Every structure is written in structure tokens, then in C-alpha cells.
Chains A and B, each alone.
Chain A
Amino acid sequence: MPKITYIEHNGKSHTIEVAPGMSVMDGAVKHAIPGIDGDCGGACACATCHVYVGAAWLDKVGKPSGMEESMLDFASDVTPASRLSCQIKVNADLDGLEISMPPSQH
């Protein structure tokens, strides 16, 4: 299974296996990794799963959709590496993906 590394804003790192088809948000929430809320469960209705994609992974992860981009525009501490993690589907190509978290989701 693809391994994903989540780095909390305080620097604490968690590397877990996430099944293909799950989202990067699902992986965090289902392993109780703090810092990604995912309140709406992946319906793209809450923007509480904001993450920064590691620089080496930006191309592989791809660009946000128009709807996601509009939502990110209202998140805090947005950078060019920002994504909503519910919209990143895990697949074999993302094995090793590293993401980090903003200071807050609200």
C-alpha cells in the first residue's frame, strides 16, 4: 500500500499506509492524525482539510479543480503548494508522498 507522511504544524511526523482510492484526508482522519479536520467527510463543503504538498510531489499530485481552487482562496495561510486533502486520491504513484499542515483549519 502507498505510504504517506503527514507532518503536523509542530513538526511531528506520521508515516502511514493509505489504501489506493482513499483520499489523503481519509488517511489522516482514520488514523487520528491531528491537524486535518475533514468535517464534511470529503464532500468539498468545508475546507477544513487544507495541506501543503511537498515540493517534490507537486507535479505528481496535480492541480486543484476550479471548485477546489475557489475554496482554497478562502482558507488561511495559503501557498502555491496548498491543496484540499479530500480531493487528492491516493494511488501507487503517490507512494512516499509528503504533506504538511497549516497552523489551523479554521
Chain B
Amino acid sequence: MSEALPQRIVIVGAGHAGGEAAARLRGMGFAGDLTLIGEERHPPYQRPPLSKKYLSGELSLERLLLRPPELYAQESITLLLGERVIWIDRPVKRVRLSGGREIAYDALILASGAKPRRLPLPGSDKSGVFVLRTIDDVEAMRPLFHPGSRLCVIGAGYIGLEAAASARQLGLEVMVLESAARPLGRVTSPEVANFFLDLHTHHGVRFELGVHASAILGGTHVEGVQLADGSILPCDAVLIGVGVKPETDLAQQCGLAVEDGILTDGQCRTFDPRIYAIGDCARRPIPLLGRTARLESVHNAIEGAKIAAAAILDRPAPVLEAPWFWSDQYDAKLTIAGVLDGYDQLVLRGDPKDGAFAAFYFKDSVMLAVDAVNRPAEYLGSKQLLQRNESLAPDAIRDISQPFKAIMAQARVVPAKA
């Protein structure tokens, strides 16, 4: 297929993926019309610090932004903020904004991200009930984040626990409610989850595990959370952190295939060859996982942007990385390489009691993923092994008298999957 390269590229969604795609396209020499449309009023920014150093006040808004606002004009990127795309007219290749304006494209990138899930709890419209996804979400909760204020976090995932750690650092009283028997149930092993449970407990966070919130109580402002057993937990603020839902409505309405994410091929292309989808809203084949996945991460946002920009401009595809993630809570830096689902063996290197250890996950004796707490060598080394499709013998890993790099020398290439 040799078609003329596009002259007009429109990106829907000005988050990390959309912002990165715009920067990559210009960086690769694309000189045509480039329009970046975002619903938020802020230029593209990093979301990971929102629950960490931005919430705790250590990082300024300026440093949160991916690039200074003036850079967009300098690079002739039309940045339309506070604008919502309501329709994609695929036959004529135009997007329509809520105000009626239409913008033509030769290539369209959907980077619409995800929205926090809400809970259908009575009282969840009271003031003092928050989710955490945007700068504005953090700014809204800031007035209540002062010493002595009581925060109830519903959901013990990464966002909830990171916010709990930031809140403790700011002097709040924090309790975390979780319907499962342990925190981080969807994302890590019981061994790593218990480490974080102990860490937070040590820092004064109170946990209520295996409980269900049934209502948010109070007048116009939240005063407490009621549990299904009738007990009441008084608080001044509630943070709901129960995961996100990909923003796929527009794609679905416009006839693109959606299955927990907008479906794309390995080039981030939907079945409409002029439309790409990247970041939290998209699902693509991940060769290293041997399946499709919708990953919610900075790595995936950046990689999708690189893949789509290269595909649109007919350049060589980028080298793919093993999926990676991180979470900072107090002095614990958790770095993750790979995806652990379906693991049948866990090998610990180091002792969680020492505050630095790594959990290696295997399936059929092949390494799938690593959760490393304050263990950068195990994280980066394993990430490189996963990228090279190499694995380690589980027994070799336990020997902490050997540096991890020495153990890596024993890695073996994994036979290709049938």
C-alpha cells in the first residue's frame, strides 16, 4: 500500500499519550497540520505524580507539564483545550467538536484515556467525595488535605495506596476500605500486597479489609462512610479509587471495534486504516505477552505514541519494551517489569522485612514479571531479560550473595511459543 503521507493529523485526547504523539510526529519531521484536542484545560501533563509528589506538594504544576505551554505554538501544534470531540465522520474524515466546529484529518489518533470508575453509593454526590485522575481533581481535594483531617480511601489499588501515603505525609488520619481480603488484589501477589499492608500500617494507616461501603453520610458535605454491616466510619473526605474505565464511547458510536479498549493491530491502527488508538483507551497485541492487552501506564502511553507516529509517517517501527510500571509509597519504590497474570510460581529474592526485595513471577518455569521494591538492579535487569525473551532458573534468583547482574549471565533464551 503506497499512499501519500498524511498532511493533516488530528489527535483526540491531550493526555500523556496524545501529547507524546504530537511531540514525536514533529520530532520525526512531520510538517503538516497537527491538532491536539483535549477536554481538560491543562496542556498534556504527567499523571503518575498526581497521587504522589503533586498531591504532597513537592512538585509544581510547571514540572508536571510534559512540555512548556509555549512549545506547542513554537512547533505549530494547534492545541485545543477544554474541547470535546462528539463525532468522527469517517467517510469524509472529519471530527466534530461539541461547539459544532469540524476539523478534517488524513490520519486520526484516538488517545482519549480513561475515566475513574464511580461507585453507585447513596451520598456519593456530596462535597468532599473525590476521585483522582486529573490536576483539577487534586486541586479540589487540597483544601481538605491538612493535618488532622480524616480521609477515607475506598479501594486499595495503587492510586488509593499512593494517595494514602501522600495524605499521611501531610498529616491526615487515613483509613483504607477494601472489599477484597487484601490490598492490591488485582495487580500483585499476596506476598507483595502484604509488604505494602505492613508498610502502611507501620505509617499509621488503618485498614478495613473485606468490607463493603453502603452509603456516604452527611449533609451537603461528607461526614462518614457507612459499611454494609451498619457500622459508621466518620471522616472529612472520601477518595474513591476503584480503577478506571477506558474512554471508548466515541469510537464505539463511530463503528470502531471496542472490547475493553479500542481494538488495534500491532501498529496501533484500528480497522479503519486512517484511525489509530493509543494509551489507556486502546488494546493492542503485545508480542512479549503473547496476547492483546490494554495497559494503563506511562510506558504504554509513550510506546503507543511512538508506534502510531512511525506507522503514520511510514517509518520503521520502534523496538518494543517489556511493559513497565512504578509506584512510590513512603520510602518504598516499587518498580515492575512484565505482567504477572497467570503466574504459577513466585520466587523471592531478599526479605520483605528488610524493605528491599524482589518478587519474580514464573509460569511453566518461564519468567513473566518482577515486582522489585527498592531493588533497581533486579527491575532493570529483568526488564532487559524479558525484552530479549530470556528467562532465569528460579533457584538461581534466591542467592542474594550474588549480584543480580552475575545471575543474569546464566539467563537462557525461552523457546518460541508454539
Contacts and interface: CB of A to CB of B under 8 A. Distances in A.
Interface of A: 22, 26, 29-32, 34, 39-47, 67, 70-71, 73-74, 106
B285 interface: no
B78 to A, nearest CB: 17
B68 A30 contact: yes
A40 B377 CA distance: 17
A67 B380 CA distance: 11
Given A26-B63, A40-B326, A70 B49 contact: no
Contacts of B23: 32
Given A26-B63, A44-B376, 9 more contacts: A22-B63, A32-B75, A39-B298, A45-B324, A47-B380, A67-B376, A73-B405, A74-B381, A74-B384
Given A30-B68, A41-B49, A44-B333, A106 B319 contact: yes
Contacts of B68: 30
Nearest to A71: B376
B144 interface: no
Contacts of A73: 377, 380, 405
A67 B374 contact: yes
21 contacts: A26-B63, A29-B66, A29-B67, A30-B65, A30-B67, A32-B23, A32-B67, A41-B46, A41-B48, A41-B49, A43-B49, A44-B333, A44-B376, A45-B333, A45-B335, A71-B377, A73-B377, A73-B380, A74-B377, A74-B380, A106-B319
A71 B374 CA distance: 11
B382 to A, nearest CB: 10
A39 B299 contact: yes
Chain A binding surface, main DSSP class: loop
Nearest to B403: A73
Report the 5 A-B pairs with minimum CB-CB distance, sorted nearest first: A45-B326, A74-B380, A70-B376, A41-B46, A70-B377
A28 to B, nearest CB: 11
Interface residues on B, range: 20 to 34
Contacts of A22: 63
Greatest chain B CB density within 10 A among A34, A46, A73 is at: A46
A43 B75 CA distance: 27
Contacts of B335: 45
Contacts of B319: 106
Given A40-B298, A45-B326, A73-B405, A34 B380 contact: no
A26 B384 CA distance: 25
A50 B405 CA distance: 19
Nearest to B302: A39
B197 to A, nearest CB: 22
Given A32-B67, A106-B319, A46 B376 contact: no
Contact of A34 (B27, B298, B405): B27
A39 B302 CA distance: 8
B321 interface: yes
A29 B324 CA distance: 20
A43 B63 contact: no
A29 to B, nearest CB: 7
Contacts of B326: 40, 43, 45
Interface in B366-407: 374, 376-377, 380-381, 384, 405
A41 B66 CA distance: 8
B386 to A, nearest CB: 13
Contacts of B409: none
A74 B361 CA distance: 21
B48 A46 contact: no
B45 to A, nearest CB: 9
A46 B48 CA distance: 13
